Structure 1
Amino acid sequence: MDYLLANTPIEKLESECLIVAIFEENQLSPAAQTLDSLTDGLISNILTRGDIKGKVADTLLINYLPHAAIKRALLVGLGDKNDLSSKKYRKAVAAAANTLKATQIKSADCCLVENQVTGQNLTWNARHIVEAFDAPFYQFNDCKSKPAAKLTLTSISLHSETDAVAIQAGLDQGLAIAQGVALTKHVSDLPGNICTPTYLAEQAIEIAKQHKNLSAEILEEADMQKLGMGSFLSVSRGSRQPAKLITLEYKGADANTQPIVFVGKGLTFDAGGISLKPGAGMDEMKYDMCGSAAVLGALQAAAQLQLPLNIVGIIPSSENMPDGDANKPGDIVTSMAGLTIEILNTDAEGRLILCDALTYAKKFNPDVVIDMATLTGACLVALGRVPSGLLGNDDTLCNDLSAASETALDSVWRLPLWEEYQDQLKSNFADIANIGGRDAGTITAACFLSRFTKDYKWAHLDIAGTAWKSGDAKGATGRPVPLLVQYLLDRANAA
């Protein structure tokens, strides 16, 4: 999809379709008022007839207008004019995108950016138009012998006659985020026989080649052995695919500026190991690498926006398979940090690869470290598929992520990381057990990771409920790329 900025007055505009907002009680947005004047009161007459009520996400496509230069109009409801929240606006824009998706319209001019959203500005408005339009037009065709038909709509122009600079900034941000989300979805949706740890490493190298401020480094199993990553390597022993430790480094600030470090879990397939998962739904365990895909998407977006920050992405990648050499329940391994771990359940493997990656992160002298992982089914049980779970050892960092989630509409909910939960990880035979029982599974998983993050400010995002959808809508969501990029934008603005 192409996204453009248009400032031609509506009176002089030629358009296949003009998207304008209406409100409850038959109120028209400025663009709708202009269109109403050009069409001798057509819009007002339609509202008077009650064909559309103006409620949030109501849409009505008018296929003919008595104005030759504008062929169609899409009316989009925004609800109460004095109470247009961020979520209502995003919902309405998404409704507009889905309506046009089902048509043969090739291009459209969107005037929704002009409407005042509570607490937001034109840059935010423009950015979320791009994000909301891009999402439903994502298609996965890589593995189909007959790809789905290409969607007709290929161009959206954001129309406004004021503050082109602010709107262009929103376009740039939205495009970078949308492309980062699309990359994340695509890599996540690939099957495990294609998207292997080696494939992820190759993708990181390709992304680095496309941006001069990005560089990639790949550590092999022999390198990790020298570093003492016994916990990580114990997971990969059960797989024929070699593990990779992938690092993407973006340098947009002075060399002395401490970097923001993202760590993403990269289990390209998780069968559970010897603690084998049930067969039903196991195909979705190709999504156990969504955290790593989000790191790739966020680093690509940061490089595209040329943010004045230093950012490091670390991806520990492996498979977790049952094999004669795989971890067994009761095995004890030694992590890079020197802590010994009793593996009570081999299906709690994400924390085993993350703990060594989090220890490795110290070499970069990080300002903050944020990891993201499809870590626990308990998070899905506790929070559903709306927010990602957030835990951490630094209130400022967690508060910053919460604030960014509100702006990005990529929600999080903070859970406690209290000392009392650490007792559940006691082991009679090692320094720590890799599971803490049924109670508070998301929290005890974060407690495990916290043992390896004491030397820096750290936050953990459990995206098990938000990284992909099941059922008829099965597919990756691209979260938490919008949250991560918004956090980076906030940091850049503060700098």
Structure 2
Amino acid sequence: MDFQLKTLGLAQAASEKADALIVLVSPGDGEQAPGALGGLIGAARKAGDLPDKAGKCLMLYRPQGIAAARVVLSSLGDGPAATAARSAVLAAWQQIRAANPKRVVLVWSGGVVPAALQAAVVALADASYVYTHTKSKAEPRALRQVVVGVPQASACKAALAEAVAAVRGVEFAKEWGNRPGNHCTPTMLAEAARSLAKAPRIKCEVLGPKEVAALKMGAFMAVAQGSAEPLRFIVLRYQGAGKADAPQVLVGKGITFDTGGVSLKPAAEMDEMKFDMCGAASVLGVFRALGELQPAVNVVGLIPTCENMNDGRALKPGDVVTSMSGQTIEVLNTDAEGRLILCDALAYAARFDPAAVVDIATLTGACVIALGGVRSGLFATDDGLAGALAAAGEAAQDRCWRMPLDDEYAEGLKTSFADVANVAGRAGGAITAAKFLQRFAGEAPWAHLDIAGTAWKSGAAKGATGRPVGLLLRYLLDRAEGAAPAARKASRRSRGAAA
């Protein structure tokens, strides 16, 4: 999709030829504006057809004096600018989607802040996304061009560039998340990662079974041993800052299909287990965006990827495996496999002497029960890191919620036959999973994002969401813009207070 930025007020927007013109109307704005659009807004308000509530719309077909075939007036309401813009754009798209518009013009009745512009662009791209990879007669995405009209285009160039990069990253993550398991094997996912290295400052290394065995990643190998598809360990590097600058490390769970192993999942909706690599997809999406924006930050992406399948060699309940860290793990449930591949990747992350480590995983159904599909679960050992991720999520409209990591939650992971068990009881399942990972996270500030509820949607809207690419990208851009020192100071203060 092509995005263009133009200096457009309401008067100029009326002359723009398009399949649809979306006008985001703030309370009190536009009614006194001269021209056809100002007159429409005033008349609609006077008739009570355009309430000042976010998401309320009025669509008109070929109104007099306006070049666009369809005009949608969509109220912003008086809420936060970014949230209001997203709601208004999504509501407007519902009005015009059946017409399959190819060119859309998006304008505001008054001023626009960067956060609102970004939210509007991302929302329009999200709503118009179409998956086609495995369809023989698929209709491609109809929407080809979006013109974003603002009072002063030069002041919004950076905001639009960030929004477009976020769109590219989210759609890359969606694309690979949506592909079925036979079109997204570990080998194919590794090739997708390699394709990202065409961008400046990005390098990709892919390790196979021999290299992973040499690293003694026994937990990762144990999960993969029941599949005919060979595992891959993907290492992405983005070097945007000096070599001496410690990198941010992102670790993405890459189970390209999850049967549950010997602890077999129920058949109903097992097809959705193709989405069990959405953590990996989000890391790929972030690197796609980094390649466009080229921010001044160093980032490492680690993706352990394999299938969790059954054959005569498959991991069994009661087996004890040895992780890269040397810790032994009793596998009480083979469907708790994500934490097994992540624990070895977290141990590997320590070699980069990271500023912080964030893992992203569709880890537990318990997190879905706790938070539903609205917020991702956030666990962190460092208050500064937790605050930075939460703030990034709010800014990107990709929210998370911090969960506890009290030591008492680890009691259920004790076992007589190994250093730790891979599951505890049902109570607090998302937390005990995080406590398991914490054992392998090392000394650097560490956070875990459980995206089991937010990575994809079920039902009629089934498909990957691309989350939390927006959150992670905003977090990294904040680090590039100098927020890291403040976060470290806040972290030190919180640790001092706890001591």
TM-score range, shorter chain: over 0.9
Tell me what 2:184 maps to. 195
Tell me what 1:64 maps to. 62
Give yes or no for the alignment of 1:393 onto 2:381.
yes
What is the 5 A alignment of 1:348-387?
348-387=336-375
Give yes or no for the alignment of 1:20 onto 2:8.
no
CA–CA distance in structure 2, aligned partners of residues 276 and 250 of structure 1: 38
Give yes or no for the alignment of 1:154 onto 2:144.
yes
Contact 2:24 2:88 in 1 (8 A): no
CA–CA distance in structure 2, aligned partners of residues 453 and 152 of structure 1: 45
Where do 5+ consecutive residues of structure 2 fail to align?
A: 484-499
Tell me what 1:101 maps to. 97
- Give the alignment partner of residue 156 of structure 2, picking from 141, 147, 167: 167
CA–CA distance in structure 2, aligned partners of residues 461 and 70 of structure 1: 43
What is the 5 A alignment of 1:72-471?
72-80=70-78, 83-112=79-108, 114-115=110-111, 122-147=113-138, 149-162=139-152, 164-209=153-198, 211-471=199-459
The CA deviation string for residues 301-333 of structure 1, in whole angstroms up to 9 with x for no partner, is: 112100101100000001111111111111101
Letter in 1 for 2:394: E
Letter in 2 for 1:176: A
Deviates more, 1:55-64 or 1:437-446: 55-64
Contact 2:9 2:109 in 1 (8 A): no
**Secondary structure of residue in 2 paired with 1:20:** strand
Contact 2:251 2:303 in 1 (8 A): yes
1:322–1:151 distance in 2 versus 1, CA, 3 Å: closer
The CA deviation string for residues 154-213 of structure 1, in whole angstroms up to 9 with x for no partner, is: 222111232x2331111111111111111101101101011000001010001112x021
The CA deviation string for residues 92-148 of structure 1, in whole angstroms up to 9 with x for no partner, is: 1221233232225432321138445xxxxx22122112101100111111111221x
Tell me what 1:53 maps to. 51
Scaled by the length of structure 1, what TM-score is found?
0.93
Scaled by the length of structure 2, what TM-score is found?
0.92
Q: Offset at 1:8?
A: 4.6
1:40–1:388 distance in 2 versus 1, CA, 3 Å: closer
CA–CA distance in structure 2, aligned partners of residues 290 and 284 of structure 1: 11
CA–CA distance in structure 2, aligned partners of residues 274 and 110 of structure 1: 52
1:299–1:107 distance in 2 versus 1, CA, 3 Å: same
Letter in 2 for 1:101: R
1:55–1:359 distance in 2 versus 1, CA, 3 Å: same
**Secondary structure of residue in 2 paired with 1:304:** helix
Contact 2:376 2:454 in 1 (8 A): yes
Letter in 2 for 1:224: V
Q: Offset at 1:70?
A: 5.1
Letter in 2 for 1:15: K
Contact 2:257 2:275 in 1 (8 A): yes
Letter in 1 for 2:7: N
CA–CA distance in structure 2, aligned partners of residues 387 and 288 of structure 1: 18
**Secondary structure of residue in 1 paired with 2:227:** coil
Letter in 2 for 1:78: L
CA–CA distance in structure 2, aligned partners of residues 370 and 298 of structure 1: 13
Letter in 2 for 1:301: A
1:232–1:63 distance in 2 versus 1, CA, 3 Å: same
**Secondary structure of residue in 2 paired with 1:369:** strand
Contact 2:122 2:167 in 1 (8 A): yes
1:366–1:73 distance in 2 versus 1, CA, 3 Å: same
Query: In percent, how many aligned pairs have the same letter?
Result: 47
CA–CA distance in structure 1, aligned partners of residues 226 and 68 of structure 2: 62
Q: Offset at 1:490?
A: 1.0
Letter in 2 for 1:129: A
Deviates more, 1:4-13 or 1:88-97: 4-13
**Secondary structure of residue in 1 paired with 2:249:** strand
**Secondary structure of residue in 2 paired with 1:76:** strand
Q: Offset at 1:52?
A: 2.8
Letter in 1 for 2:187: T
Deviates more, 1:40-49 or 1:354-363: 40-49
Contact 2:261 2:308 in 1 (8 A): yes
Contact 1:101 1:153 in 2 (8 A): no
CA–CA distance in structure 1, aligned partners of residues 109 and 190 of structure 2: 39
Deviates more, 1:65-74 or 1:102-111: 65-74
CA–CA distance in structure 1, aligned partners of residues 74 and 102 of structure 2: 19
**Secondary structure of residue in 2 paired with 1:248:** strand
CA–CA distance in structure 2, aligned partners of residues 40 and 310 of structure 1: 48
Give yes or no for the alignment of 1:6 onto 2:6.
yes
**Cα-Cα RMSD:** 1.8
CA–CA distance in structure 1, aligned partners of residues 295 and 472 of structure 2: 13
Deviates more, 1:67-76 or 1:183-192: 67-76
Letter in 2 for 1:363: R
The CA deviation string for residues 344-366 of structure 1, in whole angstroms up to 9 with x for no partner, is: 11111101100000000111111
Contact 2:25 2:109 in 1 (8 A): no
Letter in 1 for 2:162: Q
**Secondary structure of residue in 2 paired with 1:143:** coil
Q: Offset at 1:152?
A: 3.7
Contact 1:113 1:125 in 2 (8 A): no
Tell me what 1:119 maps to. none
Q: Offset at 1:50?
A: 2.5
Contact 2:261 2:310 in 1 (8 A): yes
May I ask how many residue pairs the two structures share in their alignment?
Answer: 480
Where do 5+ consecutive residues of structure 1 fail to align?
A: 117-121
1:114–1:203 distance in 2 versus 1, CA, 3 Å: farther
CA–CA distance in structure 1, aligned partners of residues 390 and 9 of structure 2: 39
CA–CA distance in structure 2, aligned partners of residues 84 and 264 of structure 1: 31
